[in-house]
Amino acid sequence: MKVSLFSTCLSDILFADVAKNTLEILERVGCEVDYPMEQTCCGQPAYNSGYLQEAKQSMKQMMKAFKHSEYVVGPSGSCVGMLKEYPKIFADDPEWAEEAKRFAAKCYEITEFLVDVMGVTDVGSTFKGKVTFHSSCHMKRILGVKEQPKMLLRNVKGVELVDLPMEEDCCGFGGTFSVKNPVISQEMVSEKSRHVAETEAEYLVGADMGCLMNIGGRMRREGKNVKVVHITEILNTH
């Protein structure tokens, strides 16, 4: 199966290992993976801040970059969720409406792709440790991907998965929210950090680097000794 990797700008620039792990997992389950170099950002920072025109420019760039891809797979529920919104955003744009629909239909978040498209629930990895999972808001509510990451995690040898209290709650990142409403954001992430600590897990696992760098950055500031890892790291350890 031919897959184009959507690294997300965050993983491309700050967390290259996340994209590397995603690539290697895809190859391991038998995909032929390419990486269109014209890709940039899904446009979410501008879109969620109300800058529709600006957002559309990056969205068009993304549609161009992946025009010839069969599948587009990325390691972020939030960014892939954004791609899935393109048809709505371009619905009244005769030039892009059709392309937006075609594009959105081939986009998948990595755990969703593994479970729903490849039919893989066990990637054959081994990872020793007690982990808890933060389910990111856009992944579960906008993309509707809830069970797939946990199915994959449960099948990793050595992983002990414990429930995170108030798992459904937002971590307070919210993109520009974290800098526009820093006081509220801090309260929210502190609460999340408390809940993570309560689980006594060694690792906090998530499928979105945005949330993870928020929670991880806070926990490090608080001196908490919990390691924050993207799910692809666990799925690619063997």
Partner 1 sequence: MSIKLGEVPYKDRVQTGIEDDFMRQAVSSAQGRFRNGRLTQAAELGNWEDWRELGSEIRTHTLQNLDYYLQQLSDNVARRGGHVFFAETAEEANQYVKNIIKKKQAKKVVKAKSMVTEEIGLNKALEEVGAEVVESDLGEWILQLDEDPPSHIVTPALHKNRQQIRETFAKKKGYTGSDTPEEMAAFAREQLRQDFLAADVGVTGCNFAIAESGAVTLVTNEGNAEMVTSLPDTVISVMGMERIVPTWEEMEVLVGLLTRAAVGQKLTSYITAITGARLEGEIDGPEEFHLVVVDNGRSKILGTEFQSALHCIRCAACINACPVYRHIGGHAYNSIYPGPIGAVITPLLEGYDDHKELPYASTLCAACTEACPVKIPLHEHLIRHRQIIVEQEKKAPTAEKLMMKGFAKWSSSPGIYNLSAKMAKPALGPWTKDGMIENGPGPLKDWTDARDFYAPQGQSFRAWFKQRQKDGETS
Interface positions with partner 1 (CB under 8 A): 7, 9, 11-17, 19-20, 23, 35, 37-41, 43, 45-55, 57-58, 60-61, 65, 137-138, 141-142, 168-170, 172-175, 177-189, 191, 213-214, 216-218, 220-221
Give the span between the Cα atoms of 172 and 191, in whole angstroms.
9
Closer CB to partner 1, 142 or 161, in the complex = 142
**Least spacing, CB of residue 188 vs partner 1, in Å:** 6
**Least spacing, CB of residue 1 vs partner 1, in Å:** 19
CA angle 97, 101, 103 (to 5 degrees): 115
**Least spacing, CB of residue 69 vs partner 1, in Å:** 15
Any idea how long the chain is?
A: 238
Closer CB to partner 1, 139 or 159, in the complex = 139
What residue has token string 């509220």?
184
CB–CB of 157/125 below 8 Å? Answer: yes
Closer CB to partner 1, 15 or 108, in the complex = 15
Identity of the amino acid at 218? R
**Least spacing, CB of residue 92 vs partner 1, in Å:** 11
CA angle 205, 4, 36 (to 5 degrees): 110
